[in-house]
Amino acid sequence: MAEESDSIFREVDEDVRRDQMLALWRRHGVSFVSATVVVLLAAVGWQIWTDMRESSLNDLSDRYAAAQEAAAGETPETAAGLYAQLAKDLDGGYGLLAGLRQGATLLEDGDAAAAAAAYDRVVAKAGDSRVKAFAGYLAASAKVKAGDADGAIAQLQGLALPSEPLYYSATELLAAIYTAQGDIEEARSRFGALVEDPAAPAALVARARDMLALFDAESPGVDADNSVGETESGSAAQ
């Protein structure tokens, strides 16, 4: 009976620690998302400017502005419909922006699954690799909110590569999902790879170190320096 009680308490303690890990990531994860949005929206803006040089898009600009104004006075559901139609009708950057706005509006309306689908359509439509990565990252984030962790992992694995423009952000989100799933070994590997990367953003490295410290607190027998070395060798094999 005592052993059974101890087992239950250990499971509860593990759940509490895992919740603490996720709370830590959520608390500090906003800053890197904001920076990423600024950079990638600039990429979308560049594509629009390129399109305007290649063809006359005054009409498209007017249509986008009109739809945006109309959507501002509607419910999120109706606004999402307006952006969806615009994303279908417009080519180039304006169509991509409409698709991104559709996804954001659907998230605001609480329909994360539909938002993920909207972002995936932007991925399929975009020609710029940075825009593809941005929309893919947003799609993965929406899939997490929709409860589709496996779908998010599958999408992020293609983005969490050193050659990808959102490698660091995708790797961090992927590690957070593994943490939520209880796959601490895989999460440790991803966070460790970030800590060992000299080019990784400082704020992101700090968050990764915090997560590794929490993992080590769960496993007192694991030395912090050794755990980072293990993740380095694990990431090199990927």
pLDDT tens-digit readout, 43-72 = 555 555 555 454 445 666 777 777 777 778
Write down the pLDDT at residue 192: 97
Of 67-81, 104-118, 204-218, the least confident: 67-81
For the chain, the structural domain boundaries read 21-135, 148-238
Instruction: Please choose, from the candidates 237, 234, 195, 198, the residue with its C-alpha nearest in 3D space to the C-alpha of residue 212.
Output: 195
**Is the separation of the CB atoms in 171 and 193 below 8 Å?**
yes
Q: Assign residue 183 a region: left if phi > 0, alpha if psi is -120 to 50, beta otherwise?
A: beta
Q: What is the pTM of this model?
A: 0.72
pLDDT tens digits, one per residue of 115-165: 999 999 999 998 888 889 999 999 999 999 999 999 999 999 999 999 998
